[in-house]
Amino acid sequence: MAGDYHRVRTHLRSVNGPVPASVLCRMSMADHVDPDRIMAITQAGLDVFEEHFGTALPFDSYDQAFVPEYNAGAMENPGLVTFRDDLIFRSRATRAQFENRDNTILHELAHMWFGNLVTMRWWDDLWLKESFAEWASHFAQSRIDDDPRHAWAAFNNARKTWAYRADQLPSTHPIAADMVDLAAVELNFDGITYAKGASALRQLVAFVGQDAFLTGARRYFERHAWGNTELTDLLSILTETSGRDLSGWSAQWLESAGVNTLTPEYTFCKDGRITDFAVRQSAPADHPTLRTHRLAVALFRIEEDQLGQLLAVETDVVGERTPIPEIEGLPRPDLVLVNADDLTFAKIRLDEHSVDTMVNRINQLPDELTRALLWGAAWDMCRDAELPVAQYRDMVVRGVAQESDQTAVSRVLGQTQLATTLFVAPEHRAAAQSPWIAGLAALLRDAGPGTDHQLAFTRALAQAVNSTAGAELLLGWLEGQEIPEGLVIDADLRWHLITQLSRLGAIDEARIEAERARDNTLSGNERAAGALAAQPTVAAKERAWQRATAEGGIPNETHRQICLQFHQPGQEEVLAGFAPRYLELAEQVSARTGVWETQGVHLAQTALRMLFPAPDDGFLTTLDDRLSRTELSKSVRRILAECRDDALRALTVRHAHARIAGTNPVEETTP
């Protein structure tokens, strides 16, 4: 991080007058940085926060430095925020990438109030910092955007998906967690503290009302500026401003773990009108809390090839079953959506008729936020083995081209790739992937030249291809042949193609080294390390394993790229010998022996998470036996438990779909 930086000086307009500001990056990135756009979103966010927090920017300067080899997304030092410099785009970036960066900028700016002006007393209340910054950044985006629902659609498609997964892991914990030591603190910078916490705050806003919530925030800063707070300090103020007793709300939402499931239940008579309607709430046995959910239930009907909303009823769902009499007497809808405005945090389920509508007509819904809820529900049902992989895949192929939220586009494409590889047994994988590859090829063919969709479909197709013909197509693109109109094969896309060709065994080490020489930059060296790790040979895997687990001083992002590309679908035989060595790695990290005596926590976590073997019943049995007789640190056990849970879920989905579809678990395609 040391050295001469390129610096663009400017200022921010604060209610107390001009504030000196600047954007900094290393000299080699100067041609790629866009300080005007960075400062524009910073200024827009400052306007929102000063208006609604009632307090001027607490510091007399504000600099934003983009630095290499940073092991986190960003850090909100008072008056000086440091960011990973991969947020400076040296290649063509999509709208989703810009929006993600904008959100990170707003998140760190929000910390000037939540975290710096007022700081939590101890790490138990980390949520007072991170949950609030996460909520505030999306709140600010919703005030800045022309469509206020867009920011919350992107939040649902990216951040809430992260939170739902985290809250279903064995390591889930309350938002206001008991931080027993600093190792627990390191691990609790997670999807619960960030995204579930922000979701709970969105529910709190719905529960007390936005005006009361923002009045409470202003009073909070007035009373506690330059001080330390804990849970009760904020809740007591919100109780004052809203007139609502929040002790029960806190017990349900902040002090208990686990996610509820909300399901519509209804009957209808011969003429098709609803005779009884209710929302059923359930909770997992390990975390049985039933919560009060302020939410909306919406009904949709097919009208001229579009799903139009018939009705939306906002209500409180309490206990196991909540009747909604306002819906009785209405004609049976084609789609029933619980939590229609995404006000609460819960897994949502659909009745059978609504599932059919969702899978076959996702592209006929005009509203981004509504689609986001359905994308999320479908993915969660797929992960729970309630929606076959083939149906999820076909839903994505049918609807992704019409999806306007680029965050959703990138997410559902990635999730489908995951589903057609990890959620399908290797012997059935080709049958699952063939329609997926064909669908992506058609989507790419029809995508507008130079559009974000075209770039997303290109990247997805490159990652999906698994044949000699597919490799020849990618090689042709690298050599300038048959490139789709409007598609630019820039540095980032070239490395993506190189990595996929390496995965397929279609290029050798010399070709990767030639590409490294072509892009002799820090980023080029990082990507080359990942491409080498993707090669389908035992020798390449051995070199990658040694670099990731035994070589000290390896840069953060280089290490991450090696670990990220180590496991590849279709390489199970090549990778089989590394499963026992993974268990030895876990013990070494726990005991801090070998290279792990000096390597940082971040590198250790990256290795343990990304090098965990692919889902396999035999390995999980061996792992369970090893865990039963081996002493490991709490942090290592937690990571192993999370990875084990992901692997077990994948195997459970495989087995469930095999039972449903007989010998072919994936080809129950929808029309």
Identify the residue whose tokens are 């989905």.
Answer: 653
Tokens standing for 534? 């993707």
Q: Do residues 139 and 48 touch, judged by C-beta distance below 8 A?
A: yes
Q: Which of 50, 51, 99, 108 is catalytic?
A: 108
Q: Where are the beta strands (DSSP E) in 284-406?
A: 293-302, 307-317, 321-323, 335-338, 347-348
Going 634 to 637 to 638 to 639, the CA torsion angle's sign is positive
Q: Could you write out the DSSP letters of every residue in 104-127?
A: HHHHHHHTTTBTTTEEESSGGGTH
Distance CA 63, CA 82 (A): 9
Phi-psi region at 336: left, alpha or beta (left = phi > 0; alpha = psi -120 to 50): beta
Q: At what angle do helices 509-518 and 522-533 cross, to 10 degrees?
A: 170
Distance CA 128, CA 641 (A): 27
Secondary structure letter of residue 331 according to DSSP: B
How far separated are the first and last CA of the chain, in Å rounded?
55
Tokens standing for 106? 């707003």
Q: Do residues 389 and 420 touch, judged by C-beta distance below 8 A?
A: yes
Q: Do residues 200 and 235 touch, judged by C-beta distance below 8 A?
A: no
Distance CA 371, CA 556 (A): 37
Q: Which amino acid is at 190?
A: D
By C-alpha distance, which of 394, 399, 413, 261 is closest to 339? Answer: 261
- Using DSSP's 3-state secondary structure scheme, residue 577 falls into helix
Secondary structure letter of residue 193 according to DSSP: I
Q: Note if 108 is an active site residue.
A: yes
Please count the residues of the chain: 671
Tokens standing for 449? 């030249």
The values of phi and psi at residue 8, to 5°, are -110, 115
- Using DSSP's 3-state secondary structure scheme, residue 581 falls into helix
Q: Do residues 63 and 75 touch, judged by C-beta distance below 8 A?
A: no
Secondary structure letter of residue 194 according to DSSP: I
Secondary structure letter of residue 325 according to DSSP: G
Going 452 to 455 to 457 to 463, the CA torsion angle's sign is negative
Q: Which amino acid is at 524?
A: G
Identify the residue whose tokens are 């990767």.
Answer: 512
Going 110 to 111 to 112 to 114, the CA torsion angle's sign is positive
Give the residue numbers marked as catalytic. 108
